[in-house]
Structure 1
Amino acid sequence: MQSIVIVDDETIPRKIAEKALKDKYVVSAYADARTALSELTVTRPNLLLVDLHMPDMDGYAILNEIRQLEDHELSNVPVVIMTSDDDAKNEIKGFDLGAYDYIRKPLLPDVLIRRVDRIMKGEETLKHLEKKAEIDILTGLLNRSASIQQINENLKMRRESGLLLMMDLDHFKLVNDRYGHEMGDKVLSLVANTLKKFVRSDDVLGRIGGDEFVIFYRGFWKDEALQERCEEICGAVKRVVAETLQTSKMQFGISIGVSSSPKNGLDFLSLYQKADEAMYHVKSGGKGGYFVYNEDDEEEKAEANIISLESIQKRIENRDFFPGAYMVDYNDFCSIYHFIKRSGERGHIPVQMVLFTVEESEDVDRRGLEERMQAFGELLSQTIRRGDVVVRCSNKQYMILLVGTEKENSLIAIDRVMQKRSEEEKRKYPIHYEINTLIS
């Protein structure tokens, strides 16, 4: 039930207002303004009815003090001034200070009830719209602006210890490239639901970018507890992504950078910059883990950013990590094309370019075509040799670069791809190809 606070030093109008509203609302009535203000954090009203003329503190002073509260919710509560004064200048002054409305005295119960009902309904609608504006539609989490605002409010009001976890999905671009954006959206939604399991009601969880998430934990955390929590998050995200994509070969996971308040800052931006720097060390160190920012330990940070040559070589040679050909976007493909062409010409390495084009038949719908194009791209990347390159260059075309392959052998590779297509696919989505020898 919504609540109302009434502040009026006159007994009769205070009693009239309380009696008229108590059947529909939780009503707290005060004769003293100071007492009413001191108990706002307890009553937390949805509306204040304040008398304009009172001996110790008038309605303007109450209004001004409320608007300066650090509690965002209380500082924005609607304040309605009750007065028998019909001076327009006083009314303008009240509106300038942030009054929501005026109600004339003497109070008429039926008019008062209807006026308050209208205000409450309007505020309810406004709060609903504000809530919708704060939510990321895809994941249901707080969006970037709402996350920043709530974290800053926590830091400003409470001035206590806290942790900021900056999280970024590893290899997420590969999910979109290989499985399509619809699957990418599904992964983001599932990751968001997974992260919800690791926050309390007074923590802040939001999506602040494409595949970037943030958690603000209130209070002090011991190193062991933080380590356990980060490892739990990493493991849970890795499992849910692997189960969704039905693969254990590709190492999709999450990298976490951690900063702490007040040590690393007292506002979101300061903490974000430190956490982002910590996350960079995880990314550069191989991804899939966490790192706590510590500006007093430069040696430790440097070590986190160093990878042995043996470790790098193992990652590059790990055939499970990128099975088949490399699937890249068009901009990357252009860079790779020029590099391969230049290197191939110098080393006399043969390179073949193959363009596959899907021919639409009359009974094919656009959605079906897109699904088959994504499936064909997956088939190419898994069938063509590791080290070759695949790119989707239009809504009906894929191109591949076959490195170190003569034209005759490239025909064998193409035939291997075509043989893996079903008869129905060949009938509904016939494909023709063109071969161009880039370097012979």
Structure 2
Amino acid sequence: MNNEIQQSTILVVDDSESNIEIVLAILDNYDVIPATSGKDALELLASENVDLILLDILMPEMSGFEVCEALKKSEETKNIPVIFLTAQKDEDSIEAAYLIGGVDYVTKPFKPVELLARVKVHLELQHLIQKLEYLATRDGLTGIYNRRKFFELAEKMFNEYDEQFYAIMLDIDFFKKINDQYGHHAGDIVLKKTTDIISSLLPPDSIFGRIGGEEFAVVLTANSDKVVINLLNSIVSTYSKTSIAINPTQKVTCTLSCGMAPKHQFTTSIDVLLREADEALYEAKQTGRNKSVVRDVVR
């Protein structure tokens, strides 16, 4: 079995402890978390990362259908596949299970080989979906967010904060010369290293993306303009002092220009804020490069 699949975590929800013990014995190669009620299951999901849920339908207080409905309403749990594992064999229950968001329906008593096969298939499908989602949102070279995903997340974050929210634009100075002199492979190495350096200095909740060529963007929150200015100075300084090995015998040093804009009362959208940061970046380029410029705003 694929190690990635075998390391999956499965939540088993059933009010019968004997049923849970049977499932635990069958799925002994997986990390299985038991829950004996719908309420317990939802509480566990608030703190546990789960890859698949096996869910009984007939349970006291909260039915499996009600649990599944709650899962599908939550951003954190809506994508977890749910397999109903139940004694209910009527067509209405089967139809309801799929309509409410279940991915499969296994009736009791079940054959161990059947349960194992269905669990494996849905875990493999879930991991494939996650990989495809990752590839669809990441820049293929650097691994950070691509332009589309960056703007999606940046807009969401923009709408959550009225103040102490900042946009940063960064650009590698004279990057074309690297490609022209050393080749595009060297340019790719520089882009990857640039990403590593910037990522290592950003706060954990920052959103960082490559939005084109040698240009990057960041949105983040901070307690003050000064905090962000100090961050930019650190990025510019650290980057300019880093030698990047582009082949076994050659190293290059590059510099960054940065522009920063804070959200203010006239910032109507994330596009406006990023445009202001881009204008500050342009000023940094025009006034010497290897520096950061803060957009002046009236607050």
TM-score (norm: length of structure 1): 0.55
Which secondary structure state, in structure 2, belongs to the residue aligned with residue 206 of structure 1? strand
Range that drifts further, 187-196 or 277-286 = 277-286
Is the contact made by 2:190 and 2:244 (CA closer than 8 Å) also made in structure 1? no
Change (3 A) 1:81 1:45: same
- The answer for the alignment partner of 1:61 in structure 2 is 66
1:198-229 CA distances to partner (integer Å, 9 max, x unpaired)? 13555433312111112344x52444432222
Which letter maps to 2:229? Q
Equivalent-residue separation in structure 1 for 2:261 and 2:241 (angstroms):
25
Give the partner amino acid of 2:147: R
Q: Does 1:33 align with 2:35?
A: no
Q: Which amino acid aligns with 1:65?
A: A
Choose from 192, 195, 207 the match for 2:210.
207
Residue of 122, 125, 135 corresponding to 1:122:
125
The answer to whether residue 50 in structure 2 is matched with residue 45 in structure 1 is yes
**Which structure is higher in RCO with an 8 Å CA cutoff and minimum separation 6?**
2
Q: 2:12 aligns with which of 6, 15, 18?
A: 6
Structure 2 letter corresponding to 1:25: Y
- State the partner residue of 1:136: 139
The CA deviation string for residues 52-74 of structure 1, in whole angstroms up to 9 with x for no partner, is 23343333332232222233xx3
Structure 2 gaps of 5+ residues are 1-6
RMSD of Structure 2 on Structure 1 (CA): 3.6
2:86 alignment partner in structure 1: 83
Call closer, same or farther: CA 1:193–1:34 in 2, change over 3 Å: same
Q: Distance in 1 between matches of 2:264 and 2:18?
A: 51
- In the alignment, residue 35 of structure 1 is paired with which amino acid? D
Residues paired across the two proteins, number: 290
Q: Please list the CA deviations of residues 372-424 of structure 1 after superposition, one character each: whole Å capped at 9, or x if unmatched.
A: xxxxxxxxxxxxxxxxxxxxxxxxxxxxxxxxxxxxxxxxxxxxxxxxxxxxx
Superimposed CA distance per residue, residues 155-189 of structure 1 (whole angstroms, 9 cap, x where no aligned partner): 67899965432212233344445554444333323
Query: 1:277 Cα deviation (Å)?
Result: 3.8
Pick closer, same or farther for the CA change 1:243–1:40 going to 2, 3 Å.
Answer: closer
Deviation at 1:230, TM superposition (A): 0.8
Q: Give the partner amino acid of 2:82.
A: V
Contact map agreement 2:264 2:297 (CA 8 A) in 1: no
1:113 aligns with 2:119: no
2:222–2:228 CA contact under 8 A, matched in 1: no
Looking at structure 2, the residues matched to 246 and 206 of structure 1 have their Cα atoms a distance apart, in angstroms, of 25
1:20 to 1, 17, 26: 26
Provide closer, same or farther for how the CA distance between residues 155 and 20 of structure 1 changes in structure 2, counting only shifts above 3 A.
farther
Aligned residue among 195, 200, 206 for 1:197: 200
Quote the Cα distance in structure 1 between the aligned partners of 2:121 and 2:48. 21
CA distance in 2, matches of 1:278, 1:127: 37
CA displacement, residues 107-132 of structure 1 (integer Å, 9 cap, x when unaligned): 44443233223322332333234333
Q: Which runs of 5+ in 1 are unaligned?
A: 298-440
Structure-2 separation of matches of 1:200 and 1:152: 18
* Largest Rg, 1 or 2: 1
Describe the shift of the 1:16–1:293 C-alpha distance in structure 2 as closer, same or farther (beyond 3 A): farther
Q: 1:269 to 1:37 in 2, by over 3 A?
A: farther
- Cα gap change, 1:167 to 1:66, in 2 (>3 Å): same
